[in-house]
Chains A and B, each alone.
Chain A
Amino acid sequence: MSSAPVATRSHASSRSASLPVAPWLLMAPFLFGVILFTLVPLLSSVHLSTRQTFGPEFSTNVGTGNFQFLASDPLFWTALRNTVIFTLGSVLIQLPLSLLLALALNRPNLRGRTFFRVSLFSPVLVGVVFVGMIFAVIFDKRTGLINRALHATIGWDIDFPWLESYIMPSLVIATTWQYVGFNMVYFLAALQNVSAELGEAAMLDGANAWNRFRHVILPAIMPVGTFVVLLSIIGSFQLFELPYILLNGTGGPQNRGLTLVMYLYQTGFQTGDLGYASAIGWVMALILGACAIGQRIISKRGERA
C-alpha cells in the first residue's frame, strides 16, 4: 500500500515498496512500551492539569486555573529562569568541550587514547548521589577544593559562596564534569561516519583543518550532533536529582537552585497537588517541544544530503 504512486511520490525519500507489516513489527516493542508506560500515564496527567487534586478521590475541576496561577506564580518564573540559565550554560559549555575531546581522541596517532577515553568517561560511572557528595566537598566555602586551589593560585575569595549565590554555575560545572565524557562518546560514535575519502579529497582541495571540520566532519555528524544538542537541552530542563541532593531537597537560598522539575516535584508531591504539577509539566513540555521542532528542521536539512 505504501508503494502506491501517490503515497510515495509525496514522500521525499521514497526508497522502496517495503512490506507495510515489517516496519510495525520492528517498532512493536517500542510502541508497546511507550504506549503503556508513557502515553497512558501521560493522558491521565493531561486530565490532571485541568484539576486541583489531592489523591484520587479529592479532585476538583479548576479549568485553566492552574495555568493562570502559574503565570502569576513568582516561584515558577524563578524556576524557569534558573532552568534556562542552566540549560544555556551546559549546552554552550559542555557540548563544545565534548566535541573537541571527541575530535582529539579520534586521531589515530594519539598515544594513550584508551586511557584518556576511559578517564574522561569515568564520571558517568558514578551515581548522581555521589556526584552530589563529591561536589559538596569541592564547592565548600573555606575548605572546598575549588576555593582553596583558586585562593592559593590567584588569591580568589576563600569564602566564595558557590552553593549559596552561584548555584547554577556550580551545577553547570558539576554536570559538565559528569557528562562531558558521556556526550563525547556520542560524538565518537558519530565520527565513525566521516568518510576518510572525503577528508582526503578536501585536503587536496586545499581545505585546512577548520574547513575540513566544517565541510566534511560536521555534515557527517550533523544528525547525531543535533540529537545530542536536543538531548542535553531536554536533560538540562529536567535537571532535578543533583540540586535536590546538593541542596538537600530545597531550592537553595532565595530558590537560586530551584529548577522546574524540582518545583514540579515539590508541588506535585510535597503539597500533593498533582494538578498544578501537571500544569507545570505541560508548560515544560511545550517549551521543549519548540526546541524539538527546531531540531527536526535542522536535521531534516542534514538528511537531504
Chain B
Amino acid sequence: RTERSSAARMWTFARLHYSMYEPAVEEWNKTGEPKVELSLLGIQAVEQRMLSSFLTRKSGAELMEIERRIASRAFAGPLDGVGFLDLTDRIKAEGLDQKINASSFTPWSTRGRIFGLPHDVHPVMLGYRADMVEAAGIDVSKIETWEDFITVLSPLLYDADGNRRTDRYLLNMWETHMDTIEVLLLQAGGGAVDPDGMPMLDNDANARVMAHIAAWSHGKNRIAADAPYFSASGNRLLLDGFVVASFVPDWMCNVWRNEIPQLGGKVKLMPLPSWERGGRRTSVWGGSMLGISRDAENHDQLWEFAKHLYLSPELSRELYTKGDIISPVKEFWSDPMYDKPDAYFSGQAPGRMYINLAGDVPPRYSSPFSVLAVERLRTVASRLATYAKAQGDATPESLLPEAKRLLIEAQDEVMEHARRNRFITPAEGEGS
C-alpha cells in the first residue's frame, strides 16, 4: 500500500501559480498543520487524477487547484456525490461571500452550493491596435455598443493588395472559437446552463449573439476574422494588424506581454462594447479555484490553509505583478499598484480598468452538462455560420430565426442527456 505521508498534498496545474505559491506554502509549513506538499501536474493529468480519485474514492490529493472547465466535471452526480468539500456554510459564516467578488463564486457552485475558493475574477476587455486607430484619427471613446464599434472602426477595414479579399478586420473572433463566443454570450446575459445547472440554450440572448457572430464573420459586411489565440500564427496576424481588436481578459495581458513583446506600446484596452446602451461592458473568460477533497481528514485545518494561501495580500500582489491578474478580494482593490501606468498598453493602467469592471462580471454557472451544452453552442455557431455563408449577404436580423431554431434543437438534444441522468432531476435542482 502507498505510505500516505501525513503531509497534505496539493496539486496545481500552472507553473506560474506553482512559483507563486511556493513561498506561501513554505511559510505555512513553518508553523501550520498539516504540512502541505505542493506539486505541479499537467492540466490533463490533474483532470484524470481528480476524476479517477473521485470516481474510485481513492488516493486523491487533499487540495486541488482546478481550472474551470475541469471543475464542472466534478459536479456530475448528486450533491453529496461531489468529490469536493461543500464550503458554502464556511464561506457564508465567515462573510467571505461579501469579501469576495460575487460572480467569482458562480463557476464553483452548483444547485446553490459552493465547492471552491475562487482564485480570480478575469474580467474581459477589448485590446486594440491603438497605433492604427490613432493613425486613422479615430476616437474609440465614442464606442458604447457593438453597433458603434462597427460604425466607428469600419474605416479601418481595407484591402491592402487589392485582391478583393479584405486584409484587415475589426474583431478577432471566429465561429469555431468557443471561448470568445461564450464571452459574448455571457456578456449578453445568455450562456449554457442556468443557476440550477440545467441547460438553457434556447434563450433570446443566445440567439441574438449567435446571429451577430455569424453575420460578423460571414455576413454582408464582415468585420470578424480569425487570428487564433495562443498560437504562433495568431500572434503573427496580430502583429501584421490583420485584426484590430481582440478579447483580452486580465491574464491575456500577461500572455501578450510574453508572447508578442513587439506589440508593446502599440496596443490599448477598452471595455467591451455593450449589447444595448447602458448594458454590461465586460464579460469573463477562464478562471480557477482551490478545492478541498471531501475524503481528506482535518477539513478545518485545510480550510485554514486555503484561506492563508488565497486571501493573502502577498498573493494578490504576486498575481498582478507576475500574472497581470486582479485579485477577487475586494479589499485589496484599493492597492495603488493597480494604478501604475503600463508602457505595454501605451500608459494605460490595466489593473484599475479591470477592477472597475469587476463588479459587472456576469455569473456563469457550472453543471454536469456544461461541457455538453457548450459543445452544442459551438455546433450551433458553426451551423449558423454555414447557413450565413449560404445566404450570402446575411445580417443579424436575417439570421435570427435560424439561430432560434438551431438553439431549440440543441436544447432538446442536451435535455435528452439531462433527462437520462437519474441523479440530477430538475426537481432536485430546486430542492437545494
Binding site for B on A (CB under 8 A): 52, 54-58, 60, 62, 69, 73-74, 136-137, 140-144, 164, 249-255, 266, 269-274
Measured CB to CB, the nearest residue on chain B to A164 is B176
Q: Which residue of A lies closest to B55 (CB)?
A: A55
Question: A55-B55, A56-B57, A137-B232 are known contacts. Are A273 and B76 too (CB-CB below 8 A)?
Answer: yes
* Bound form: Cα–Cα A274–B76 in Å: 11
Q: Is B175 an interface residue (CB 8 A)?
A: yes
**Residue contact B54 to A55, C-beta cutoff 8 Å:** yes
Contact B55 A271 (CB under 8 A): no
CB <8 Å contact, A274 and B55: yes
User: Which of chain A's residues has its CB closest to B372's CB?
Assistant: A271
B90-98, B256-264, B345-353, B376-384: which lies at the A interface? B376-384
Is B176 in contact with A142, judged by CB distance below 8 angstroms? no
A136-B73 contact, Cβ under 8 Å, with A55-B54, A164-B176, A271-B369: no
Contact yes or no, B233 A55, CB < 8 A: no
In chain B between 392 and 432, which residues have their CB closer than 8 angstroms to a CB of chain A?
Answer: 413, 416-417, 420-423
Categorize the interface residue count of chain B: 35 or more
CB distance from B365 to the nearest CB of A (A): 16
For B55, what are the chain A residues with a Cβ–Cβ distance below 8 Å?
54-56, 272, 274
In angstroms, Cα B35 to Cα A225, docked, is 57
Further contacts, 4 of them, CB under 8 A, given A143-B237, A271-B73, A273-B76: A56-B57, A58-B423, A144-B233, A252-B176
Which chain B residues border A255 with CB–CB below 8 Å?
A: 375, 379
* Cα(A259)–Cα(B417), bound, Å: 19
B377 to chain A, nearest CB (A): 11
Q: Which of B73, B77, B237, B375 contacts A251 (CB 8 A)?
A: B375
B236 at the A/B interface (Cβ < 8 Å)? yes
CB <8 Å contact, A253 and B371: no
* B78 interfacial by beta-carbon distance below 8 Å: yes
Residues of A within 8 A of B175 (CB): 253
Does B11 reach chain A (CB closer than 8 Å)?
no
27 CB < 8 A contacts A-B: A52-B421, A52-B422, A54-B77, A54-B81, A54-B423, A55-B57, A57-B81, A58-B77, A58-B78, A62-B422, A74-B413, A137-B232, A140-B233, A142-B233, A143-B233, A144-B233, A164-B176, A252-B176, A254-B378, A255-B375, A255-B379, A269-B47, A271-B371, A271-B417, A272-B77, A272-B368, A273-B76
Contact B368–A271 (Cβ < 8 Å): yes
Contact B422 A60 (CB under 8 A): yes
> Which DSSP category, helix, strand, loop or mixed, fits chain B's interface?
helix
- The reply to whether A141 and B81 form a contact with Cβ atoms under 8 Å apart is no
Q: Smallest CB-CB separation from B47: which chain A residue?
A: A269
- Across the interface, which residues of B come within 8 angstroms of A251, CB to CB? 375
Chain B CB within 10 Å — which of A137, A254, A274 has the most? A254
Chain B residues in 8 Å Cβ range of A58:
77-78, 81, 423
By beta carbon, the residue of chain B nearest A258 is B375
Count of inter-chain pairs, beta carbons less than 8 A: 94
Residue of B nearest to A141 (CB): B226
| A269 to B47 Cα, complex, angstroms | 9
**Bound Cα distance A269, B83 (Å):** 13
- Contacting pair B371 A266 (CB below 8 A): yes
Please tell me if B140 contacts chain A, counting CB pairs below 8 Å: no
- What CA separation (Å) do A270 and B54 show in the bound complex? 12
The 3 nearest A-B residue pairs measured at CB = A54-B77, A272-B76, A143-B233
Q: Could you tell me the distance in whole angstroms from the C-beta of B424 to the nearest C-beta in chain A? A: 9
Distance in angstroms between the alpha carbons of A203 and B231 in the assembled complex: 56
Q: Is residue B85 contacting chain A, with contact meaning CB distance below 8 A?
A: no
The CA-CA distance from A274 to B52 in the complex, in Å, is: 11
In the complex the two chains form, what is the Cα distance from A142 to B416 in whole Å? Answer: 39
Contact flag A269-B233 (CB < 8 Å), given A74-B413, A141-B226 = no
CA of A183 to CA of B198, assembled, Å: 47
- Give the one of A73, A141, A251, A272 with max B CB within 10 A: A272
B62 to nearest A CB, angstroms? 18
In the complex, chain B residues whose CB is within 8 Å of the CB of A136 = 231
**Shortest beta-carbon distance, A106 to chain B, in Å?**
39
Chain A positions within 8 Å of B231 at CB level: 136-137, 140
Closest to B379 in A: A254
Q: Which residues of B contact A272 (CB under 8 A)?
A: 51, 54-55, 73-74, 76-77, 368
Measured in the bound complex, the distance between the Cα atoms of B77 and A52 in whole Å is 11
Residues of B contacting A274 with CB < 8 Å? 55
What is the distance, in angstroms, from B213's C-beta to the closest C-beta of chain A?
Answer: 13
Q: Considering the chains assembled together, what is the distance between the CA atoms of A141 and B165 in angstroms?
A: 15
Select A142's contact among B51, B237, B417, beta carbons within 8 Å.
Answer: B237
Known: A55-B57, A272-B368. A137 touches B233 (CB 8 A): yes
Are A253 and B379 in contact, CB atoms less than 8 angstroms apart? Answer: yes
B368 CB contacts on chain A under 8 angstroms:
271-272
- Complex CA gap A69/B420 in Å reads 9
Question: Nearest chain B CB to A57's CB is how many angstroms away?
Answer: 7
Contacting pair B54 A140 (CB below 8 A): no
Q: B375 to A250, Cβ gap below 8 A?
A: yes
Is the CB–CB distance between A142 and B57 below 8 Å?
Answer: no
Chain B positions within 8 Å of A250 at CB level? 178, 375, 378
Q: How far does the alpha carbon of A142 sit from the alpha carbon of B242 in the complex, in Å?
A: 10
Evaluate contact between A54 and B379: CB separation under 8 angstroms.
no
Q: With the chains together, A14 CA to B416 CA distance in Å?
A: 57
Which partner residue on chain A sits nearest B236 by CB separation? A143
Say yes or no: A143-B232 contact (C-beta < 8 A), given A270-B73, A272-B73: yes
Instruction: Give bound CA distance, A69 to B421, whole Å.
Output: 12
Cβ–Cβ < 8 Å partners of B286 in chain A: none
B422 contacts A269, C-beta separation under 8 Å = no
